[in-house]
A and B are shown apart, each in its own frame.
Chain A
Amino acid sequence: MAREFKRLASRRIYLFMMVIAPAFCFFFFGDLLKEGLPMQLPIAVVDEDNSSLSWQLSRSLDAIAQTDVVLRTADFSEARRSLQMGGVYGIFHIPADFAVDVSTGKRPVLSYYTNETYLLPSSLAYKDMRLQAALANGAVQQTILKAKGVTGVELQARLMPVAVDTNPLNNPWISYAIYLASILMPSFVSMFAMFTASYSITDELKRGTSREWLAGANGSIRIALAGKLLPQLLVFMVTGLLCLGVLYGYMRFPLNSGFLPMFAAMLLLVLAAQGFAVFITGLVWRSRIVLSFCALWSVLSFSVSGFTFPVPNMPDLMRWASNLSPIRHYYLLYADQALNGVPVLYSWGAYVALLVFVLLPLLTLPRLKRFLEQGRYWA
């Protein structure tokens, strides 16, 4: 073990992989997502009417915190050009003679356009413009009803007979940061744990020191691996605790399960990443193939884990493949424990799945030992 600590300390690349790069990622995403939900998204209002009513509409659209009317024009193609250049995410169109048509009951058309290429901001802008259009409708109805002598509770019921109360459970702010950062940051921990484990083993092969390493462990591959991976595990647990600290301490994301279940999840995630790396190393041993496999799979894991696009809506093959990613199971644990705080018993499946990853190397240990004894690299 002392030998392994020395090895880890002696090369800069280990420092980079185990501390600098993960810490950079935590800092980056912590800083990037600190607002939680993007505010002040630019939209354009095309006002061909220019009446007090249309001004009122665009003013109240501007007053919503999430949207910012940066362009007010009477020319639709000007707004369209701005939309195409990415200057605004949506266009709210008020047609000519809007106020007159409303008061004479001609049902004018309010339309709004969103640039769905930028799905996230445009769906936020869409929500606000839809609300604004509905409010415009309500305002007209209210005027008519008031003129007919309807007031108070009755007025409210006539305007909106059924109101929907939405309860976004455990994330009432609908913060995107919570659901993005909670998975992105641990994913980096797992990615680097995987890299470090597989690089440190294949490096022995490459430098021809693998026999010496085995001899140090009295020829036992289990002791040799434990000696190599334990120091890494310790370092990555510090990194993992930093990650949890940033998420639940500094950024104050909901942690409804208490600390222990998430700590266990993080520990298992690092172990599972190492297990996965050793398993692959035992399978193919060539450093570049091992590393490319780990790299490709951990980058894919960001998507396959299903925190951005739900797994049940993926094609069958991907749905199945998602189970092969440790991050997927960590995500399920996070959703159960940190976010929803359900009793731990409900999430035993994900814990067991991570454990399976930890035990995976047992399958390829004899093969790995053979490779190490031969100690060839440039075959």
Chain B
Amino acid sequence: MRDMYYIFRREFYTVFRDHGVMVFFILLTLAYPVVYTYIYSNEVVRKVPVAVVDHAASPVSREFVRLWEASPNVEVVARCTDLEEARHLMHRKEIYGILELPEDFSKRINRGEQAHAGLYCDMAALLNYKALLQATSDVAVLTNAKIQVEGLPYASKIQQEITAAPVEIREVKMFNPQSGFTSFIIPAVLILVIQQSLLLGAGTITGTLRDKHRALVPRDSHYRHAWSIVAGRGCAYLPVYFVMAYWVLFVVPRLFGMTQIGVKADLLLFLFPFLLACIFLAIACSFLCREREYAFLIFVFTSVPLMFISGISWPREGIPEYWLTLAKIFPSTHGIDGFVKINNMGATLPEVLPEYASLWFLAAVYFGLACFLYRKEIVKRKYKTVML
């Protein structure tokens, strides 16, 4: 126990003395979530620049274009005489979509035939496509209802309504009513920032020790037991990360007005095993770092694949089974799942029991693994001492 306290003090001291480590533990965790959320802070795509090619040039077609232009998703920046001209604008990236109304647009409507409107979308960014599609189909529905009602001049208002839409349709978007990008992607980013910064920081500490002393375990009577080293290091990171996690998971979402409907106490309780699992994972993985710089080279790129297999940015149904299984060994997967459920969907702690239990399990496994690796290191040191 005394050894543990000694190591805890030394490690705590290292965290605040080493600038490299400070950068990860404090600066990165402070700044990264803010920058990330700031990128997406407009949440939705609005005012996609588009062009209109109106061959019909009739009151009906103009009305259609007017309604389209009124949608917040669309901004008509050009009116072209033919598609060729509009295509040229699209190549120059001045517009991302074209609405073409054919010459017989209003003629067909007046004749009682079906008219067609053509929408052409640039597919480089799917959110632009989604915005344009939604705006156009909304306008089509509105126009259709109006035309249908016009065909019944003597009907009562209620009769008109029933004819245009015999069934009323209501859509409800839950937990993220504006369908914003922030509330979708940022919770996963926040959790990943915690795990990845720990991996980088702990990796740097281990790498530095190896650089400077060519050994991980100092010749010191305090470093006798593997478990006390691991527990001591863990205890040093835990308070730092409780503070940082509070910033990342509570303050940042509030700053940007994201969905936060979870019970705070539940979230804090959930956080505890998550942090423990991350810390022991970081200590165990830091054995991979033979040099101070290795942490970057090895850990940084994993963030993106981890993001994808967590089931947030890409639906779980589209991920092959073996990747899902692999994902289960990382605390971030369960952390993201649990955090999203509690924070964004208002689940209580008993409702995220599977994730909660998995995190405790992972924490235990990684603690064991870290101890095992340290034991090997201690044995190696003893062997060396004997040789000397």
Q: Are B143 and A161 in contact (CB under 8 A)?
A: yes
Does chain A have a CB within 8 A of B225? no
Give every chain B residue within 8 A of A300 (Cβ-Cβ): 35-36, 39
Give every chain B residue within 8 A of A304 (Cβ-Cβ): 39
Does chain B have a CB within 8 A of A10? no
Interface size class of B (residues with CB under 8 A): 35 or more
Does chain B have a CB within 8 A of A260? no
Bound complex: CA of A174 vs CA of B108, how far in Å? 30
Binary flags per residue of B336-347, CB closer than 8 Å to A gives 1, else 0? 010011001111
Q: Are B204 and A39 in contact (CB under 8 A)?
A: no
Give every chain B residue within 8 A of A332 (Cβ-Cβ): 93
Q: Are B121 and A179 in contact (CB under 8 A)?
A: no
Q: How far is the CB of A20 from chain B (nearest CB, A)?
A: 11
For chain B, residues 296 to 352, give those with C-beta under 8 angstroms from any C-beta of chain A.
296-298, 300-301, 303-305, 308-309, 311-315, 317-320, 323, 337, 340-341, 344-347, 351
Q: Are B166 and A161 in contact (CB under 8 A)?
A: no
Q: Are B123 and A199 in contact (CB under 8 A)?
A: no
Give every chain B residue within 8 A of A110 (Cβ-Cβ): 167-170
Binary flags per residue of B104-123, CB closer than 8 Å to A gives 1, else 0? 00001100111111111111
Give every chain B residue within 8 A of A202 (Cβ-Cβ): 293
Given contacts A162-B140, A164-B137, contact A153 B113 (CB under 8 A): yes
Give every chain A residue within 8 A of B297 (Cβ-Cβ): 13, 16-17, 195, 199, 291
Does chain A have a CB within 8 A of B12? no
- B305: nearest residue on chain A (CB-CB)? A28
Give every chain B residue within 8 A of A295 (Cβ-Cβ): 296, 300
For chain A, residues 338 to 364, give those with C-beta under 8 angstroms from any C-beta of chain B.
339-340, 342-343, 346
Does chain B have a CB within 8 A of A136? yes
Give every chain A residue within 8 A of B346 (Cβ-Cβ): 84
Bound complex: CA of A113 vs CA of B176, how far in Å? 12
Interface centre among A41, A137, A154 (most CB of B within 10 A): A137
Give every chain A residue within 8 A of B30 (Cβ-Cβ): none
Binary flags per residue of A196-235, CB closer than 8 Å to B gives 1, else 0? 0001001100000000000000000000000000000000
Q: Are B39 and A117 in contact (CB under 8 A)?
A: no
Q: Are A160 and B114 in contact (CB under 8 A)?
A: yes
For chain B, residues 253 to 304, give those with C-beta under 8 angstroms from any C-beta of chain A.
259, 290, 292-294, 296-298, 300-301, 303-304
For chain B, residues 139 to 184, give those with C-beta under 8 angstroms from any C-beta of chain A.
140-141, 143-144, 147-148, 151, 161-163, 165-177, 179, 181, 183-184
Binds B, one of A184-192, A237-245, A265-273, A274-282: A184-192
Q: Are A119 and B119 in contact (CB under 8 A)?
A: no
Give every chain B residue within 8 A of A317 (Cβ-Cβ): 38
Binds B, one of A44-52, A126-134, A366-374: A126-134
Bound complex: CA of A136 vs CA of B165, how far in Å? 10
Give every chain B residue within 8 A of A13 (Cβ-Cβ): 290, 294, 297
Q: Are A179 and B318 in contact (CB under 8 A)?
A: no
Q: Are A40 and B320 in contact (CB under 8 A)?
A: no
Given contacts A105-B166, A315-B38, contact A117 B176 (CB under 8 A): yes
Q: How far is the CB of B285 from chain A (nearest CB, A)?
A: 14
Q: Are A123 and B296 in contact (CB under 8 A)?
A: no
Which of A141, A184, A331 contacts B163 (CB under 8 A)? A141
Give every chain A residue within 8 A of B123 (Cβ-Cβ): 168-171, 174, 178-179, 339
Bound complex: CA of A32 vs CA of B305, how far in Å? 10
Does chain A have a CB within 8 A of B29? no
Given contacts A116-B184, A117-B176, A162-B117, contact A108 B167 (CB under 8 A): yes
Binds A, one of B125-133, B213-221, B228-236: B125-133
Q: Are B166 and A113 in contact (CB under 8 A)?
A: no
Given contacts A158-B151, A161-B148, A166-B133, contact A116 B174 (CB under 8 A): yes
Bound complex: CA of A137 vs CA of B136, how far in Å? 19
Give every chain B residue within 8 A of A63 (Cβ-Cβ): none
Which of B41, B122, B290, B308 contacts A340 (CB under 8 A)? B122
Given contacts A192-B301, A346-B92, contact A288 B124 (CB under 8 A): no
Q: Are B341 and A84 in contact (CB under 8 A)?
A: yes
Does chain B have a CB within 8 A of A248? no
Q: Are B115 and A130 in contact (CB under 8 A)?
A: no
Does chain B have a CB within 8 A of A73? no
- B184: nearest residue on chain A (CB-CB)? A119
- Tell me the number of A-to-B contacts counted with CB atoms below 8 Å: 309
Given contacts A102-B166, A164-B140, contact A31 B184 (CB under 8 A): no
Which of A85, A118, A308 contacts B315 (CB under 8 A)? A118
Does chain B have a CB within 8 A of A64? no
Bound complex: CA of A291 vs CA of B207, how far in Å? 14
Given contacts A16-B298, A17-B297, A133-B167, contact A116 B317 (CB under 8 A): no
Given contacts A16-B297, A25-B301, A157-B113, contact A39 B318 (CB under 8 A): yes
Give every chain B residue within 8 A of A188 (Cβ-Cβ): 301, 304
Which of B92, B109, B169 contacts A134 (CB under 8 A)? B169
Q: Are A287 and B292 in contact (CB under 8 A)?
A: yes
For chain A, residues 315 to 350, give those with C-beta under 8 angstroms from any C-beta of chain B.
315, 317-318, 331-332, 334-336, 339-340, 342-343, 346
Q: Are B303 and A299 in contact (CB under 8 A)?
A: yes
Which of A32, A116, A169, A308 contacts B319 (CB under 8 A)? A32
Q: Are B314 and A38 in contact (CB under 8 A)?
A: yes
Q: Are A113 and B172 in contact (CB under 8 A)?
A: yes
Does chain A have a CB within 8 A of B361? no
Give every chain A residue within 8 A of B384 (Cβ-Cβ): none
Q: How far is the CB of A70 from chain B (nearest CB, A)?
A: 10
Bound complex: CA of A133 vs CA of B171, how far in Å? 10
Q: Are B351 and A85 in contact (CB under 8 A)?
A: yes
Give every chain B residue within 8 A of A336 (Cβ-Cβ): 91, 93
Does chain A have a CB within 8 A of B223? no
Give every chain A residue within 8 A of B175 (Cβ-Cβ): 115-117
30 A-B contact pairs sorted by A residue (CB < 8 Å):
A25-B301, A25-B304, A41-B315, A83-B174, A84-B346, A85-B347, A105-B166, A114-B174, A117-B344, A153-B114, A156-B114, A161-B114, A161-B115, A163-B117, A164-B117, A164-B136, A165-B119, A168-B123, A191-B300, A199-B293, A203-B293, A292-B20, A292-B23, A302-B304, A307-B125, A309-B127, A310-B45, A312-B49, A315-B39, A340-B122
**A-to-B contact residues, CB < 8 Å:** 13, 16-17, 21, 25, 28-29, 31-33, 35, 37-42, 83-86, 89, 102, 105, 107-121, 123, 126, 130, 133-134, 136-137, 140-141, 144, 153-154, 156-158, 160-171, 174, 176, 178-179, 184, 187-188, 191-192, 195, 199, 202-203, 287-288, 291-292, 294-296, 298-300, 302-304, 306-310, 312-315, 317-318, 331-332, 334-336, 339-340, 342-343, 346
Q: Which 4 A-B pairs have the closest CB atoms?
A: A38-B318, A116-B176, A335-B124, A119-B184
